[in-house]
Every structure is written in C-alpha cells, then in structure tokens.
Amino acid sequence: MNFNFKYLWSGLTMFLLVAMGQPVFGLPAEQSSSQEKEQTPSRPPADTQKEDSLQSHRVLGNVPVIKRFTVTWEPGPVVSFKNGKFEAQMYGRVYWDYAVIKNSDRIIDINSSTFRAVRIGFAGRVGNFVFFKFEFDFAEKTQDLYVEWRGWADIKLGYYRFANPMERASGLAVLPFMERAALYGAFNLGRKWGISLAKTDELGMFEIGFGKGKGDNSKFSSPSNTIAARVNRAIPIEDGYVHLAGSITAQEIQENNQEFIFSAQPFQRQAPVLINTGEIASKTIFFGLEGGVFKGPFSLVSEVGFQKTTLTSPLPGQANPTFWGWHITATYFLTGEKNGYLPKYGIYARPEGIKSVWKGGTGAVQVAVRYDYIDLVDSGIFGGIQGTFIAGVNWWLDNHIKLIFDFSRSKITQAFLVPANGPDGANNVNTFGFRIQIDM
C-alpha cells in the first residue's frame, strides 16, 4: 500500500486548527514543561513570570462578548485562554559556530564560521489531550512538525525523531558537546515522517514507530521505510539515576537502483567526510544499547550501536557486513550544579541550579571528555575506522545562553575511498570549535 503520511498529517493539522475555535471538553491540563521534554522551552516559576491580562471585545446586537486570555513571558511569549482549554508558546534558538580544522598532511585547512541553527517554533496544547509542535530551521530545514494525543498512550504523528537512542533523541541544546557521537550520522538515524505510540511512567518508556520517506539525516536519494522501537528505564539512586536502554531500527530503500551510504566526519560540523563506504546497501538493521549514571554534578554515559547491512550487489562469497560504533562520555559541573536528566524519556535535560550571571551569579561551568569510535570496515568493505578524543568546557550564563569550547583529535585508518586520506587510507585531524548558543 502506497500511503503518504504527509497527507494524513496535513488532515490532522486542519482538524487541530478547527478544534482551536471549538469547545474542548475536559478540565484544565497541566502545563507543558521542559522538565517533561527538552524540546519544549522551559518555564520559570510562576512568581517570576510577567503577565499581561488582555481582553478582546465584539458586539452581538447590544450584548458585548468578552474573551479573556493571558500573555506571559517565560522567556518567550505564551498565550493561554483563561478557561485552560488552549495554550501556545513561541520559542527560538540561534547557534553560531566558529571552527578551525587541520589535518596532518596539511591538505585540510579550514577556518570558518557558520550558523548551526536559526530556529523558530510554536508548541502548545488544545484541551487535556492534544499537543502540537511546529519548528523550522532557517539555517537548515524543517525540524519538528507534529501533533500528539496523550491519553492511555502517547500517539504522535508528523515529522520528528522517534525511538532513537539517548543522545540522538535529546535536544542539541542540552548535550555536553557541540555535536553528537559519530555513530548517529553514520547509521542514518534521525527524523522521519511517521507515526509512533509510546507508553510511559515516571521512570521509563516503551516507544514503537513507523516511518516513510527521506529523513533529515539520510545519506541516500530515495525515501525508505522505517520501523523503530526503544525501551528505557531509570533506576533511582541517591541524588540521581542509573540509565538503561535499548533500541532497534530497521530501514529499507523504497526504490530500485538506490542504496544506503554510511559515512562520518571528524567532530566539527564544517569538517569534510573522511570515512565513507560509498553506496552499498538496500536494507539495514540497527541495534543500540545505552547505559549511564547521573549523580549530582557528575555523569558517565556510554552508547554502542551495531548496523547490520544487506548488500545490494555482493561479490561471490561476500558476506553482509556489520558496522559498529560507540562512545563513552564523562561530565562534571565545577560549580556544583546537578546534571539534567529526564527519567521518563531517558534523555538529557538542562542542568539544575544555575546561578545566572545577570543576577550576580557565576553561571554553571561544566567540563566534559569523550572517546568516540566508529568502524566502517567489514567483509571486504573498507569505509574506514575513526577514533576521536574530545575535550570540552561549557559555560551556562543562565538557563538559555551557553558558550561552548571543544577540542578534538581524530585518528583515521583504512579509509581508502576518500582521496584526502591518501593512498594509505590514514589521516589525523585536529579541530577547535566555539559556539554561542541562545535558545529562548
């Protein structure tokens, strides 16, 4: 069956827009918060909000009709109807990056700046059960675009990330480094047009989703079918949690004569791709495992992923390759703040207890180190192996402004398909990156 999720999503969006103007049954819902999902901007305590009460008037005969609603700033504008049946928030983010990238052969010499993200978004709810989010990135492309019903389960429909591993499921704003681990880009994990169902409690979630079309992180020209699932569990400990999770994602190219590519670049976004398999596969299955500890100012997280591929045109006797990657990451807040973690969803969150520099505090200073590894060599495929050491410092000036300083050194071997690596397929790449991050 050739079913287009875009049309179904468009129909539900039209229903949602109509529903905004109709009575919505149910008691006022709880406010959506970044403590539930990182992607929704955070709300400060009510006593810090600046509220303006507004009234709009129209006349039916001689009877005035008054609709009351409020506008709050937390920190972006939030419009709420007094009866609690509708709420919408506008938010945005700007990430400006500067990077220096050099390799041992002096073939690569990059000194550049770019906007990593320039986004504007709207998120909110209609009644108790229907939630929505529309987010657009002027530096790249559409980000999240979905509607969600929350009842006996959470059912979401649109363009978004579903059932992705921890770091890929977390918002970039709260991650310890400027970019994610190499395995997520290499194995084509990201947003898709799709539908998903999730069951949650306070300490975990099971999610399964079905998608179709070309994703935001896909290295192929044809759309693919996707089915993905993830289960995560948080175990409470003193001043924190132990995180455990696993995921699986299966993808298949929809059209003939199209193939998956698996590739990765050194740590910075502006760096060129230096390990690459070329177009080789029509089907893939990803298996991921996650483990971590979040305890006060300290965190230790590791994720590993295996990508089993089905070759489109194998040589006689050639087995289907399995590629893999992993990382281990440690962070610590020198100023004593608590690492952010959302146990329900098993993702990163904003740190707790930041003392804003605009109010006489020092902000929050976090140091982070990581070893990142990706292996695209197996069964006669020499895409390359890349091991990267990364060290960084994050300075949160307040809850919404962060300065990031990252240094990385990558060692590349057996990457014979990329000319920049030379005939020996080897390279060493050093990078320095700086980001000004503002998200409101």
Q: What is the pLDDT of residue 283?
A: 92
- What is the Cα–Cα distance from 96 to 1, expressed in whole angstroms? 43
Model pLDDT, residue 106? 78
**Can you give the residue ranges of every domain in the chain?**
5-41+51-439
Locate 219 and state its tokens.
Answer: 């290295």
pLDDT band at 18 (very low <50, low <70, confident <90, very high): very low
Q: What residues does 281 pair with on adjacent strands?
A: 260, 311
Cβ(331)–Cβ(339) under 8 Å? yes
| Cα three-residue angle 354-358-364, rounded to 5 degrees | 25
SS (H, E, C) the chain: CCCCHHHHHHHHHHHHHHHHCCCCCCCCCCCCCCCCCCCCCCCCCHHHCEEEEEEEEEEECCEEEEEEEEEEECCCEEEEECCCCEEEEEEEEEEEEEEEEEECCCCCEEEEEEEEEEEEEEEEEECCCEEEEEEEECCCCEEEEEEEEECCCEEEEEEECCCCCHHHHCCHHHCCCCCCCHHHHHCCCCCEEEEEEEEEECCEEEEEEEEEECCCCCCCCCCEEEEEEEEEEEEEECCEEEEEEEEEEEEEECCCCCCEEEEECCCCCCCCCCEEEEEEEEEEEEEEEEEEEEECCEEEEEEEEEEEEEECCCCCCCCCCEEEEEEEEEEEECCCCEEEEECCCCEEEEEECCCCHHHCCCCEEEEEEEEEEEEEEECCEEEEEEEEEEEEEEEECCCCEEEEEEEEEEEEECCCCCHHHCCCCCEEEEEEEEEEEEEC
- State the average pLDDT over residues 296-311: 97
| Residue 130: per-residue pLDDT | 93
**CA–CA distances in Å: residue 161 to residues 133, 156, 193, 402:** 13, 10, 9, 24
pLDDT value of position 333 = 98
The CA distance from 48 to 162, in Å, is 34
Q: What is the pLDDT of residue 54?
A: 33
Lowest mean pLDDT among 140-144, 182-186, 412-416: 140-144
Residue 270 pLDDT more than 50?
A: yes
pLDDT at 222: 54
Find the Cα–Cα–Cα–Cα dihedral 3, 131, 143, 372, rounded to 10°: -100
From the list 90, 87, 83, 88, the residue with the least C-alpha distance to 66 is 83
Confidence (pLDDT) at 35:
41
pLDDT at residue 46 tops 80 = no
Phi (first) and psi of residue 21, to 5 degrees:
-95, 5
Q: Which residue has the higher pLDDT, 201 or 260?
A: 201
Kindly indicate the confidence band of residue 41, based on its pLDDT and cuts at 50, 70 and 90.
Answer: very low
CA-closest candidate to residue 130, choices 234, 32, 2: 32
Residue 254 has pLDDT above 70, yes or no: yes
Of 123-127, 195-199, 256-260, 360-364, which range is least confident? 256-260
* 5-41+51-439 CATH fold: Porin (2.40.160)
pLDDT value at 21 more than 50: no
User: Rounded distance, CA 101 to CA 420, Å?
Assistant: 14
Nearest to 155 by CA among 216, 225, 207: 207
- pLDDT tens per residue across span 93-118: 999 999 999 998 778 999 999 999 99
Residue 424 has pLDDT above 70, yes or no: yes
- What share of the chain in percent tops pLDDT 90? 66
CA distance 160 to 37: 13
Note the pLDDT of residue 425: 93
Mean pLDDT of 221-244: 91
State residue 64's pLDDT score.
45
pLDDT-derived band at 63 (thresholds 50, 70, 90) equals: very low
Per-residue pLDDT band at 77 (split at 50, 70, 90): confident
Taking the CB of residue 86, how many other CB atoms lie within 10 A of it? 19
Cα separation, 126 vs 133, in Å, equals: 12
Average pLDDT, integer, range 198-205: 97
pLDDT, mean over the chain: 84
Q: How confident is the model at residue 260 (pLDDT cuts 50, 70, 90)?
A: confident
Contact 429, 108 (CB under 8 A): yes
